[in-house]
Structure 1
Amino acid sequence: MGLTPILAVLALLTAGFPLAFAILRTPFLALLLAPLVAALSSTVAVVLMLVVGGPLPLWIALVLAAGAAGAWWLLRRPGEPVPYGGWPHVLLIALPLLPPCLLVFEPAFQWDAHSIWWLHAGYFANGSEYARAAIGSPAFVFSHTDYPPLASAPAAAVWSVVEPDFRTAQLVGATVTVSAIAMLAYLVRRTLDRVSARVAWPLAIAVGLASWSTASYGVTGGLADALWSAAFAGAVVALLLGADPLRRPLLPLLLLSVAALTKNEGLVAAAGVALLVTLRARADLRRAALVWLPVLAGGAWAVLARLLDAQSDITNGASQDADMVERFQLTIAALWDVVGPVLAGAAVVALLGTLFLRERRRAAGLAADGWLWAANGYYLAVLVGTYLSGPNDIEWWLITSVERVTLPVLLLSAVSLAGWVAAAFGDGHPAGSRPAIDEPREPALSGATPKAPG
């Protein structure tokens, strides 16, 4: 591996660190979040370039300057470091994720990586006129030009200033994806705030490692499925598993934005979560309205893509199969082969937990498990409906995609299992009491006045 990919990763860390630090108020955890913030910033730059025009490096510079100003503004407001943000906690998150990351040294041969994400990065890197022409060209319909730009934007930002190569794009994409997985693991631990460390940390790490379970090549192979799935699952953990979903909204909103701006199914899934959070927090609709901002961002991209004449092979065609029953049976069989046993096992555990562990779950500070299953069921219904109504040959489509697109189902099942295991074995501690390994609990919003950083 040459020097350029390493410099590209350092550039991601540098570009995203100011805002990441302003959100988390701890430098160690901010390093894990920085690549994801950099990817979101480069996405904003790509969108502005397409709307206004001009070269991508100019917009990258302007967005980074605006991000630095936003970080300065946030840091001037009262706030405290998030819990579990010290260097020992960051090591507990990062070190277990390193072994599966070694797959990044495998050749970047995935078809979707080259024909979709890196192709998009190539035309974004060449400026607004080139990118607009490519998005609207019928010759590029095979590359899903309507897909949101987040998975391609960081590579495009790097390629706009250095000689493009696939190893650099692969390492950039892997770094952003692992950042999302790290945030998923972190949010599981943060949500299990009242659970003893010896149970909560292994559960958080296990949920993070589950990102490699259905399509291990997807995390480091240049694909986008693991990226949006981990970001989506992290947002669900913060917004639907925790007792107070909107207490610290910036990180979950950022993750939900990543999901909505990475793939079309991420936008649909984000809309479902926003609806569930609105129902859950209906007593405070003003705060609940915040969760619709990521959906609006994803919807804005969908409108822009249509204005640029992008086409979708899913929405522009209908299934040609005469026997919809057979299509449905093949879809259900394929889904069962990939996630069926885990989904069924998680459902059995959830049923038993609901019967016997509801009080312990409440003592652990966790919301009702039904919210997770509602999100999971919603996504499964959308997935089945897409396979039934799409124009592609169903057998080919399932073989080439089902392992990747079912990752959100598996991750949410893992989160449900983690919640019940924590309730059963976590030795829940009351607020303000925890083993010495963990940091003191953050003060409640009422009755405590946070200090501004020094």
Structure 2
Amino acid sequence: MFSSTAPDALRRPATAMLGCVMAAYVLAAAGGVGLPTVLAFLALLACTGWALTSVRDPRAAWMLVTVAVLMVIALGSPSDEWDPRSIWLFHAKRIFVDGSLYAMLDGYAVFSHNDYPALLPLLSATAAKLVGHWNELFPKAVGTLLLLPALLLIARSLRAWWVAALFALVTLQIGGTYLVDGYMDALLAVYAVASLATAARCLSRWNALSWPDLVPYVLATAVLSLIKNEGMVLAGVIAVAMIAAVLLRERRAPWGLLVAFAVALLPLLAWKLAVAGAHLTNDLAASDLKGQLLARLPEFSNSVLILKKLLRGWALVPLLILLVLWKRSWRTPVVLGGMLAGLAYAGVLYAVYLGTPHDLDWHLATSVKRTVLPVFLLLTYALLVLVDRWKEGEAA
């Protein structure tokens, strides 16, 4: 157990880092990429230094060491993968050259998915502005650095240092090279858990909202929604899952959490309005998703193929069985919310793959290992929370 001031040693620097991230985004949205965004990025680096002071907490120490090791790897290894180079780093370079958050909205290079949110490309471009020239190492490593505030907020939600250590190790195992090579999917998974953890912290046992915890939830959820398009879906699934968990467990509606969720989505809404104004779309939204889904649904082999790929072997099956059979999971809102969110997002992935306009085998082979990461990490976090509270008999 930790003193009452221990959680603040993790919450404050993590919240400050996320605040700097969103400040840079708002400044870029209002006036372009320049000195104000560079100053916000410098403030982010300063807050990273502040976060190092939390190393005395062993829960934070595991997260700090994990990110430090990943940063060394990220800074020493350029990416040759398609998505990092042709989407995220390409968008970042366009923002760097044009000095505008909206550089992609001219419709150039349709293959790069110009409608994707530009938060990470903006931060990468700002990092390049800071060093004075473009390269593909320092900008790429920004995504790895951004793991830190989310991991600190997750560590804050766990009580035992060894459980936090287990989560760090599981994140390394599940995320693998996606944590350092410029892909957004592992970062998306970590922020999904951070959104879940901070949402649970907002809800106290006295049926009231913990207002100091609303700010980390709003910021973590805002960043989650701006990582990539799937972030908006994950943010919504997590909010609905937590609201459903509270309704099932305590027979009340957490309206404050719902309002906080709406506030968190405002930056994404502004981006989507800009995308709509530029008449941009993406391959899934422009396709006959419903028609493809209905066409593939009668063929049972398609569903079997998708489920086999989503389960990724055997690991997810015993995890699900354990969570369902563990009676305490139904009495702990954060665990119930994590289960519901993980399974609901798996259902979303199933529907997307069944309705994909692309060849199903190709789409699964090129993406499923990445897209399933949030499902694995949400369910793993739910299980670790149960382990963390094994002897206490308390609801989250």
TM-score (norm 2): 0.80
Distance 1:147 1:284, change over 3 A: same
Q: Is the 8 A contact 1:237 1:415 kept in 2?
A: no
Q: How far did 1:31 drift? A: 5.2
Q: How far did 1:112 drift? A: 0.8
Q: What is aligned with 2:372?
A: 406
- Greater shift, 224-233 or 297-306, is seen at 297-306
Q: Is the 8 A contact 1:274 1:291 kept in 2?
A: yes
1:298 to 268, 275, 279: 268
Q: What is aligned with 2:325?
A: 352
The 5-angstrom pairing of residues 27-426 of structure 1 reads 35-49=17-31, 55-60=32-37, 85=54, 87-89=56-58, 90-99=60-69, 101-104=71-74, 105-127=76-98, 132=102, 134-137=104-107, 139-161=108-130, 162-184=132-154, 186-189=155-158, 192=159, 200-240=160-200, 244=204, 246-247=209-210, 248-279=213-244, 280=246, 282-286=252-256, 288-318=258-288, 323-324=296-297, 325=299, 326-337=301-312, 341-354=314-327, 357=328, 366-367=332-333, 369-424=335-390
Query: Which structure is higher in RCO with an 8 Å CA cutoff and minimum separation 6?
Result: 1
Give the distance between the partners of 1:117 and 1:217, measured in 2 at CA: 16
Q: What is aligned with 2:392?
A: 428
Give the distance between the partners of 1:47 and 1:327, measured in 2 at CA: 42
Greater C-alpha radius of gyration: 1
Give the distance between the partners of 2:342 and 2:182, measured in 1 at CA: 25
Give the distance between the partners of 2:323 and 2:102, measured in 1 at CA: 48
Give the distance between the partners of 2:29 and 2:88, measured in 1 at CA: 16
Give the distance between the partners of 2:202 and 2:165, measured in 1 at CA: 18
Give the distance between the partners of 1:168 and 1:201, measured in 2 at CA: 31
Distance 1:346 1:188, change over 3 A: farther
Distance 1:181 1:393, change over 3 A: farther
Q: Is the 8 A contact 1:241 1:372 kept in 2?
A: no
Q: How far did 1:35 drift? A: 5.0
Gap runs ≥5 in structure 2: 1-6
Q: How far did 1:182 drift? A: 3.9
Corresponding residue pairs, total: 365
Give the distance between the partners of 2:77 and 2:23, measured in 1 at CA: 28
Q: Is the 8 A contact 2:197 2:334 kept in 1?
A: no
Give the distance between the partners of 2:393 and 2:382, measured in 1 at CA: 20
Distance 1:202 1:127, change over 3 A: same
Give the distance between the partners of 2:393 and 2:303, measured in 1 at CA: 47
Distance 1:299 1:209, change over 3 A: farther
Q: How far did 1:407 drift? A: 0.9
Distance 1:173 1:261, change over 3 A: same
Give the distance between the partners of 1:419 and 1:132, measured in 2 at CA: 41
Q: List, as ranges, runs of 4+ consecutive aligned residues in structure 1 with deviation greater than 6 Å.
A: 61-65
> Please, what is the CA RMSD of the aligned residues?
3.4
TM-score (norm 1): 0.70
SS at match of 1:56: coil
Q: How far did 1:37 drift? A: 3.9
**Which of the two has greater helix per residue?**
2
Q: Is the 8 A contact 1:240 1:277 kept in 2?
A: yes
Q: Is the 8 A contact 2:178 2:184 kept in 1?
A: yes
